[in-house]
Amino acid sequence: MSTLRKKKQARRSGLASVALVVFGLLLTGGVYAVFNSTSADADTSTYSAAQIEEGKNLFVANCATCHGLDLAGTNAGPSLIGVGAASVHFQVGTGRMPMANSAPQAPVKPVVFTEEQILSLAAYVASISPGPAIPSDKYLDANGEAANGGELFRINCAMCHNVAGAGGALTGGKFAPALDGVAPVHIYEAMITGPQNMPVFNDMNISPDDKRDIITYLKYMEANAGPGGFTLGSLGPVSEGLFVWIFGLGGILGIVVWMTSRAN
């Protein structure tokens, strides 16, 4: 017994634990650096000077009124320093920007710019100061693990977006939008930029592969929406209750009235 304990004590020498901590720190720091550098250099390398120039012209004409010529924001709109290409691509690509009128939050509208123009705008904003980049296609193929994505979705997203992605209410007239029909790239960008009232889910929080799984899950749900029939908006017991009163009981009452009516 005592020899065993001695052996154990010997194995856990003070120096070893210091070494372990140092190794751990190095590893985390190193991995962090690798991640950071990849997302940073992915940002600037993909855009040409001509694109940035076109983006600048578009920005000055369409966005600067609210966001300021120097992107620093005005009373009407927030600063765009550090929002990154992903944020621009999401906001403009879903039609949320340019905003038509002030509201609790920017609603989805028909998209104003072409994809090429949006990329130019994104390039210009990213060239002023770097931020999250437009994700690479390998995370957007919706070909990951749906089960993992589903669990992550329920834990991280469902409290606002509803388990079936049908959307939900937030405070003060704000809301989490429904997620069906949203392009994978926009889902990814929303997670890394946190538009409107959404929190940012960075790569430390949900890894790019996990984000891919979440997209996979959402796309699976979109393709296989109702194994049990019409989903009634996937809103849960409220729509089921309304349905049973109006169409269930209403339908049977129609039959009953017909059954008990006398031929005139």
Enumerate binding residues for another protein (CB under 8 A): 104, 146-147, 149-151, 154-155, 158-164, 166-173, 175-176, 217, 220-221, 226-232, 234-238, 240-245, 247-249, 251-253, 255-257, 259-262
Residue number with CB closer to another protein (19 or 242): 242
> Least distance from C-beta 217 to another protein, angstroms?
6
Contacts 24+ apart (CB under 8 A), 110-118: 112/62, 113/58, 117/54, 117/58, 118/88, 118/89, 118/92, 118/93
Q: How far apart are the first and last CA of the chain?
A: 102
CA distance 43 to 39: 6
Residue number with CB closer to another protein (30 or 104): 104
> Least distance from C-beta 61 to another protein, angstroms?
30
Residue number with CB closer to another protein (35 or 243): 243
Phi, psi of 52 (to 5 degrees): -60, -40
Residue number with CB closer to another protein (33 or 169): 169
Determine contact, residues 237/162, Cβ cutoff 8 Å.
Answer: no
Contacts 24+ apart (CB under 8 A), 152-155: 152/206, 152/210, 152/213, 152/214, 152/217, 153/214, 153/217, 153/218
Residue 175 pairs with which residues in a beta bridge?
Answer: 169
46: which 2 tokens?
Answer: 């993909």
Determine contact, residues 235/166, Cβ cutoff 8 Å.
Answer: yes
> Least distance from C-beta 205 to another protein, angstroms?
15
Looking at residue 182, the DSSP 8-state letter turns out to be -
Residue number with CB closer to another protein (116 or 141): 141
> Least distance from C-beta 23 to another protein, angstroms?
32
> Least distance from C-beta 152 to another protein, angstroms?
10
Helix H or strand E encompassing 175: strand 175-176
Residue number with CB closer to another protein (116 or 240): 240
146: which 2 tokens?
Answer: 């749906």
Residue number with CB closer to another protein (14 or 237): 237
CA distance 178 to 166: 4
Identify the residue whose tokens are 């710019």. Answer: 113
